[in-house]
Amino acid sequence: MAAPVLETENLVKIYGRGDTRFDALKGINLEIGKGESVAVVGKSGSGKSTLMHLLALLDGPTHGVVALEGRPTGDLSAKELNELRNSAFGFVFQQFFLTPNQSVLENVTLPLKIAGVPAAERKRRGLEALEQLEMADKADNKATDLSGGQKQRVVIARALINNPSVIFADEPTGNLDSATSKVVEDILFGLNRDKGITLVVVTHDEDLAQRCGRQIYLVDGEVVPNLPKSTSGVGGERGGQPGTRPASSTTGPLQVTEPTTGAIVTLSEADAAEIARAAQEPPRAGRHAAPSTTDQPGATA
């Protein structure tokens, strides 16, 4: 794997205490290499969003370490974390988190505003980002006057505005029809391929998961080699590179990378179908605050 951009060590997240204690993550060890595309897959409640929020430094672990580019983040101040998130990460979430009464351009350039970039440069870079998403002609529209697919493209433009090294996407196509989903996915994977932006995608959509170079399967807050009831044999291949899977997720054997050994595991069609079933979950409304732009007022879906 390329040098890790993100690493975790024995990551534990416990919500509540006493009777209401819930162990959402139970000791996660993983590495995400620069330029990888990684899917975090699991049933509803398995801890996917929690893991993503910790990786994205939106929330802190109860125990354990998240390191960004080899640097542990545990002792950074809130201000340092905000700056780091704002400069290193882009966020694409199911609920868009656009500010409805602001223009598309204002929404896209919000991370720059937070970073203190002057207005003229914000505008220039904002239009450039919108251009990439073929949305420049909508710069002055209100964010509410857009279709779901257009909103998600605005969100991606915003995610790109700071040249992030990692884009975190939590159910990025959860609110989109399948044709629009395909467009949004193609954009995200294009950014991964062409700009080397690391992509971390939380999804219950097995097709989307399989477009990623690697899948991390979560069950009850733990990483497992694959989702339950799989009886597949283990292939001997090692060292599979991210991005070697064909873009089409409908043909060929389903391969997963065993997270601890890196072994490539080939699943039978029956196992693949089982995983697909197990990974299904209805889209859920988010419970967490808006990402990267946490100081964004009145974030709404």
Ligand X SMILES: Nc1ncnc2c1ncn2[C@@H]1O[C@H](COP(=O)(O)OP(=O)(O)O)[C@@H](O)[C@H]1O
Q: What is the binding site for Mg ion (CB under 5 A)?
A: 48-49
192 contact, one of ligand X, Mg ion, none, CB 5-8 Å limit per kind: none
Given a contact cutoff of 8 angstroms between Cβ atoms, the answer to whether 185 and 247 are in contact is: no
Distance in angstroms (rounded) separating the CA atoms of residues 116 and 233: 54
Nearest Cα neighbor of 104 from 134, 68, 64 is: 134
The distance of closest approach from Cβ of residue 42 to Mg ion in the complex, given in angstroms and rounded to an integer, is: 9
35 contact, one of ligand X, Mg ion, none, CB 5-8 Å limit per kind: none
User: Which listed range, 46-54, 101-109, 110-118, 131-139, lies at the site for ligand X (CB under 6 A)?
Assistant: 46-54
Given a contact cutoff of 8 angstroms between Cβ atoms, the answer to whether 166 and 88 are in contact is: yes
92 contact, one of ligand X, Mg ion, none, CB 5-8 Å limit per kind: none
Long-range contacts for 83-88 (Cβ within 8 Å, ≥24 apart)?
83/115, 84/57, 85/56, 85/57, 85/58, 85/291, 85/292, 86/111, 86/114, 86/115, 86/162, 86/292, 87/115, 87/162, 87/164, 88/162, 88/164, 88/165, 88/166
42 contact, one of Mg ion, ligand X, none, CB 5-8 Å limit per kind: ligand X
Based on the shown chain and the rule CB under 6 A, indicate whether residue 44 belongs to the binding site for ligand X: yes
Given a contact cutoff of 8 angstroms between Cβ atoms, the answer to whether 286 and 94 are in contact is: yes
277 contact, one of Mg ion, ligand X, none, CB 5-8 Å limit per kind: none
For ligand X, the closer of residues 19 and 140 by Cβ is 19
Span 50-89, contacts to ligand X by CB under 6 A: 50
User: Which listed range, 37-45, 69-77, 178-186, 246-254, lies at the site for ligand X (CB under 6 A)?
Assistant: 37-45
For ligand X, the closer of residues 50 and 192 by Cβ is 50
Based on the shown chain and the rule CB under 6 A, indicate whether residue 215 belongs to the binding site for ligand X: no
Distance in angstroms (rounded) separating the CA atoms of residues 209 and 232: 19
Based on the shown chain and the rule CB under 6 A, indicate whether residue 46 belongs to the binding site for ligand X: yes
Nearest Cα neighbor of 90 from 209, 202, 198, 216 is: 198
Based on the shown chain and the rule CB under 6 A, indicate whether residue 95 belongs to the binding site for ligand X: no
Given a contact cutoff of 8 angstroms between Cβ atoms, the answer to whether 39 and 201 are in contact is: yes
Return the H-helix or E-strand segment holding 47.
none
Given a contact cutoff of 8 angstroms between Cβ atoms, the answer to whether 133 and 164 are in contact is: no
Q: Which residue is nearest to Mg ion (CB)?
A: 49
For ligand X, the closer of residues 162 and 226 by Cβ is 226
Based on the shown chain and the rule CB under 6 A, indicate whether residue 291 belongs to the binding site for ligand X: no
Question: Which residues of the shown chain bind ligand X in the complex (CB under 6 A)?
Answer: 15-16, 22, 24, 42, 44-50, 287
